Chain A
Amino acid sequence: MAQTKAPAAQVKAELDARADAVAAKHRRALIVRIAGAAVSFFVLLYVVNKLAHGAFLEPENLINVLRQITVNTIMAVGQTFVIITAGIDLSVGSLVALAGVVMAQISNALPFGGPGNFVVTLLVGLAVGCAAGWVNAIPVVRLNLPPFITTLAMMQMARGLAFILAHGQPIPLANSTPFDWLGTGYLFPGLFGMPGIPYAVLVMAVVAVVFAIVLGRTAYGRYVLALGGNEEAARLAGIDTGRVKTLVYVISGGCAALAGLLLVARFGSGAPQNGTGYELQAIAAVVVGGTSLMGGRGTIVGTFFGALLIGVLNNVMNLLRVESYTQLIVLGAVILLAVVLDQLRKVYLAAR
């Protein structure tokens, strides 16, 4: 032990001096990765555009793609939190419907219209989604039951409840104004000759940015990642793992309710059959976005690009008039390809 070693203070000074360089290196690596992804993305877009005879890169079409992915992206953002804890939330598709039906009924029942109606409706919808998420979490946290089962049960119950509340029929919205904006309205219409930005896309952007910050920059986000990486170590580090876990399901349920609101706004009604199968699309976006189903790893940015990739594919195949059955095969293949590539990357990194 008696070798000449630099005193601790000096080592620390060196480490601190290097810290900026290390951070810069990480930034550079990130920029290279993003640039690489962007370049390949644009090449892909170019090819796709050629194939679609220029229809793809029309501003209207691009805006359309973004609007089409809003619902899936918002659900996938919530799902990302759940999957990072090595859980899964199968109930979100049904919660879209349940929250949608409840919101339509509340909006119609309120004695006042306008923004007040909209705000109350939104809050009630979010409460329904968050409450359902909380119920999902109870058996998972208290009894250590697999989330696959508890959320599968919620998926069935929420769907059934939505049909009962709506008597099996879509409930048309009586008050339309703020809902119409959200459903079909644009911010800055006609600016620079563009159609403007749909309000729904704006909502998606806010949700994605807020939750990206929550996951990446707050203590709660760090706890979610730690819990997914090693739950026992997280617990012994004093993290209230039960609370952290409960909250991921609440977030997921809340996001599903918000997605439900966007659907209600777009169609002008709350329908109990809305959102069927959406949970799997959201999971697909999360997985394509690089989040590990084993937990401990994942980003909101990745999830956004996962949802975008799936949205672009859908859009292009529609433009190319690919038969809908064929579309399913292509989507499945892309999901498989994404996870296979990710796994190969990990194997390669581990081998180095």
Chain B
Amino acid sequence: MSAAAPAGAPLLVMREIVKTFPGVRALGGVSFDVVAGEVHALVGENGAGKSTLMKVLAGALQADSGEIEVDGVRVTIDGPKTAERLGIGMIYQEFNLVPDLGVIENVVLGVEPRQGMFLDRRAAAEETSKVLGELGIVLPLDRPARRLSVAEQQLTEIAKCLVRRARLIVMDEPTAALTEREIAALFALIEKLKAQGVAFVYISHRLEELPRIADRVTVLRDGKAVATGTIGEMPQDEVIRLMVGRPLEAHFPDLPPIRPDAPVVLDVRGVSAASGVPVHDVAFQVKAGEIVGLAGLVGAGRTEIVRAIAGADVPTSGEIKVGGERVVIRSPRTAIRAGIALITEDRKAQGLVLGMTVRENTTLAHLQQFVRRELIDKPAETKATNEEIAELRIRTPSSEQTVRNLSGGNQQKVVLAKWLIGHARVFLFDEPTRGIDVGAKAEIYALMVELLKQDAAIVMVSSELPEVIGMSHRVLVVRGGTIRAEFARDDVTPDKVIAVATGAAA
């Protein structure tokens, strides 16, 4: 399995890798290396560049500049096939298994042994059992992938890499969905493979598990590798400091203080929901003129919490009050009637009808306001839309422009316009500034302040720590589908939030 590398040469060296997306420098010259038989952990906040770096390694993305060496030889990885030939295997957080194929078929997918023009099923079975047998792994070989447990699917993915003679395996958040026993088994397996010379790049948000498995740690921040060291040199609090170690950017507006007599507008008690990441026993209150930030890692359940409140996923239990009155949330419609607006994270998939005009999108959620004698009053629609275009400074030639033709920031403003023409009192913002430029961000922050002045209650989910800290009166940290900690504005620091979000502190 392990073709011996020339002495001294690391298995993999990535040097000064640069990758730019339109408007964003995802990687600003990252250097990174892996030696045979080590586990090299790669950590960083959401958006620090971990995924981009690994996609460059896997051939899913091409770097703008930089060098990659494997076994001391300069290589160009122009596609996933090349990466595979070089012995690089990827296991993404979302597994790439074909749900209806069995374990064997999945393991040999794309490299099936053949006999003439026919598949050699016996050879495929033998090869799979050999790889699994060497590691002492027991898997139901004929079971379709959809009926395997998460841990079994992961083992299938590992077997897939090994059948392809991978010497370097990248694992993205491998323990996110595993039980403690399964994690222990996975770590034991990694140790075995290490002994055979297989190296791992181990991406994880769970900093507390790094000492158990990692040999070295590299911290990425804002597209740069800020530090690399052995696990002994990098205690957890140091890693956290390196991950967030930047001053809070100063472009956040001043939040108006909450009036002492401000009433509670949104009161959430014991809410649970079962879609996506299960959410349980969520309770918090938001006052008029207050922004509450929901911080946490991707997959912690933040989106699911706001979706449950907005009826996008119907809560299975709990009580929600708006303005003191109990609301039974059965659908988005009931939530909207109660004055709850959800500004969704994925505007293209959930927020907009791209083929419709700015006007049609703006009025969609409140169309009944514009109906006179069963017919839509188009001039009234246009007037109301123009008001929002002007207020939000949406850059569009007219209300009749198709939303598909607007830029991301302007599309996001159309989503906001849709909720502003109603009479919502509770605004749930899910990643309101993701993927939009700095100017549009500042405008959206200014709008949030404006809403506060009108006594709105705002909940903001954000993966950008500076944003969630800079734009919230209070920060709630979510992990495992429920709220784990609450920090007041003058008490919150990035380190504290990260510590709770990663499970390093209670």
Contacts and interface: CB of A to CB of B under 8 A. Distances in A.
Interface in B333-369: 333, 335-337, 342, 344, 349-356, 360, 364-365, 367-368
Interface stretch (A118-126, A164-172, A195-203, A222-230): A222-230
B250 interface: no
B375 A235 contact: no
Specify the main secondary structure of chain A where it touches its partner.
helix
A229 B356 contact: yes
A15 B332 contact: no
B209 interface: no
B75 interface: no
Interface string B299-336: 00000000000101000000000000000000111011
Contacts of A16: 382-383, 386
A275 interface: no
A1 interface: yes
B355 A296 contact: yes
A19 B399 CA distance: 8
Contacts of B387: 12
B365 to A, nearest CB: 4
A236 interface: yes
A237 B331 CA distance: 10
A238 B332 contact: yes
A236 B376 contact: no
Given A19-B382, A222-B360, A213 B418 contact: no
Given A18-B398, A229-B356, A237-B418, A222 B367 contact: yes
Interface in B10-50: none
B398 A19 contact: yes
A127 B468 CA distance: 56
Contacts of B335: 238
A155 to B, nearest CB: 29
A9 B387 CA distance: 8
Q: Chain A CB within 10 Å — which of B364, B376, B393 has the most?
A: B364
A18 B224 CA distance: 48
Q: Which of A8, A238, A240, A296 is the most central at the interface, judged by chain B CB atoms within 10 Å of its CB?
A: A238
Interface in A208-246: 213, 217-219, 222-223, 225-226, 229-230, 232-240
Given A19-B399, A22-B400, A222-B360, A236 B344 contact: yes
A223 B364 CA distance: 8
A230 B371 CA distance: 22
Interface string B432-461: 000000010011001000000000000000
Contacts of B364: 222, 226, 233-234, 237, 239
Contacts of A142: none
B398 A15 contact: yes
The contact size tier of chain B is: 35 or more
B390 interface: yes
Interface in A271-315: 296-297
A233 B446 CA distance: 25
Contacts of B379: 19
Interface residues of A, number: 35
Contact of A230 (B310, B312, B354, B389): B354
Given A22-B399, A239-B333, A15 B360 contact: no
A240 B334 CA distance: 10
A229 to B, nearest CB: 4
Contact of A240 (B312, B333, B367, B371): B333
A217 B373 CA distance: 11
Contact of B353 (A9, A10, A18, A226): A226
A1 to B, nearest CB: 5
B491 interface: no
B389 A233 contact: no
B374 A11 contact: no
Given A11-B390, A229-B353, A236-B344, A22 B376 contact: no
Contact of A226 (B312, B356, B390): B356
Contacts of A18: 398
B389 A232 contact: no
Interface in A11-33: 11-12, 15-16, 18-19, 22-23, 26
Given A219-B367, A238-B332, A239-B333, A233 B386 contact: no
A321 interface: no
B261 interface: no
A349 to B, nearest CB: 10
Interface of A: 1, 5, 8-12, 15-16, 18-19, 22-23, 26, 213, 217-219, 222-223, 225-226, 229-230, 232-240, 296-297
6 contacts: A11-B393, A218-B375, A222-B364, A226-B353, A296-B356, A297-B355
Given A16-B383, A22-B399, A233-B353, 19 more contacts: A1-B446, A9-B390, A16-B382, A19-B382, A23-B400, A219-B376, A222-B360, A222-B364, A226-B356, A229-B356, A230-B349, A230-B352, A235-B331, A235-B332, A236-B351, A237-B336, A237-B418, A238-B333, A240-B333
